[in-house]
Copies of this chain bind each other. A is one copy, B any other.
Amino acid sequence: MFTGLNAFPLTPVTASKIDETGFVRLVARLTAAKVDAIGALGSTGCYAYLTRQQRQRVATLAVEHADNIPVMVCVGAVSTDEVLHLADDAQRAGARALLLPPVSYQPLSEEEVFNLFDTVSRHVSVPLCLYDNPGTTRFTFTSGLYQRIAALPHVRSIKIPGVPADEEKASGHIRQLRAVLPTHVSLGVSVDAVAGLGLNAGCDLWYSVCGGLFPQTAKAITDAAAQGDAQRVTRLSARLEPLWALFRQHGGSLRVMAAAASAQGLTDVDCLPRPLLPLSAAQRAEVAAVIAALELS
């Protein structure tokens, strides 16, 4: 499950409740597009805002509606105890892999993060993906720490926070990581704007936000990468620049993807958990215009 396109759907939340119908609609788009894997309850899936019970319900819904596509579930939490409970819940729900970010409140030391992964890797029975996202966890990994964690049982992938925005530097970065990691640990690129660069630099897969709502659009890029057509990857990715611009403009991808899901009629306009606020009507119109112009699907 660690190649091609792992698509991260939004978890729509309306008036403090999971919009289950909306979520199932989003998952149906992913199965129709035959994505390689589904990343439920990622940052886009709003895991950090949901209760343990809500997360269990969403994991269960994702697996039930995934049409046998493997589902990876994020089990991030500030407390290690909570992470272990969430891992149990996700495995019971049928998750085929777990995604683990080092969520922090007090800034964490390298040893504390290693210990978290050590504890969880000994506890679980499905593959584990290290989720490196300093923008939300505020923890910065070193390649030395990647290496130590990659040697732990069950660790099979690293979701890296983008690559340098330059072809040569991106290739150099991935080469350096490969040099210190065992071959059974895959590298997946995130930060959609540099996904094409990451795939061309040798990443095994794209952990994709855009693909969680527009799987056809994202899959065209991972398919081109699978065929070794680097130019096509670059062209298809560059074409989406107006979408990446919206992500930059609105403090990340989440609020834009929520607006996009509602513009597609898949969710309510207000589908983000508080304190997150939906974009304004004018901003939403801009998102809808970009979707139409780029023919995202």
Q: Which residues of A contact B (CB under 8 A)?
A: 16, 43, 48-51, 78-82, 102-103, 105-109, 111-113, 115-116, 119, 135-136, 138, 251-252, 254, 273-277
Q: Which residue of B lies closest to A274 (CB)?
A: B80
Q: Please measure, in the bound complex, the distance between the C-alpha atom of A112 and the C-alpha atom of B255, giving whole angstroms.
A: 12
With both chains docked as a complex, state the minimum distance between the C-beta of A171 and any C-beta of chain B, in angstroms: 30
Q: Is the CB–CB distance between A105 and B277 below 8 Å?
A: no
Contacts known (A49-B78, A51-B82); A106 close to B252, Cβ less than 8 A:
yes
* Chain B hits for A116, CB < 8 A: 274-275
- Please name all residues of chain B whose beta carbon is closer than 8 Å to the beta carbon of A277 when the two chains form the complex: 109, 111-112, 115
Which residues of the partner chain B approach A49 to less than 8 Å between Cβ atoms? 78-79, 105
- Provide the residues of chain B in CB contact with A48, threshold 8 Å: 78-79, 105-106
Complex A-B, nearest 10 residue pairs according to Cβ-Cβ distance, in ascending order: A48-B105, A80-B274, A116-B275, A49-B79, A112-B275, A16-B81, A80-B275, A48-B78, A112-B277, A105-B136
Contact A276 B106 (CB under 8 A): yes
CA–CA, A254 to B104, complex, Å?
A: 14
A24 CB → nearest B CB, Å: 22
B252-A107 in contact (CB<8A): yes
Chain A to chain B contacts (Cβ below 8 Å), 21 pairs: A16-B81, A48-B79, A49-B78, A49-B79, A49-B105, A50-B79, A51-B82, A79-B273, A79-B274, A79-B275, A80-B274, A102-B275, A105-B136, A106-B276, A111-B277, A112-B275, A112-B277, A115-B274, A115-B275, A116-B274, A116-B275
Tell me how far the C-beta of A50 lies from the nearest C-beta in chain B, rounded to whole angstroms. 7
A15 to chain B minimum Cβ distance, whole angstroms, is 10
Residues of chain B with a CB closer than 8 A to A115's CB: 274-275, 277
With a 10 A CB-CB cut-off, give which of A79, A105, A135, A273 has the most chain B CB atoms: A105
Q: Nearest chain B CB to A117's CB is how many angstroms away?
A: 9
When C-beta atoms are compared, the residue in chain B nearest to A48 turns out to be B105
| Residues of B with C-beta under 8 A to A112 | 275-277
Q: Which residue of chain B has its CB nearest to the CB of A252?
A: B106
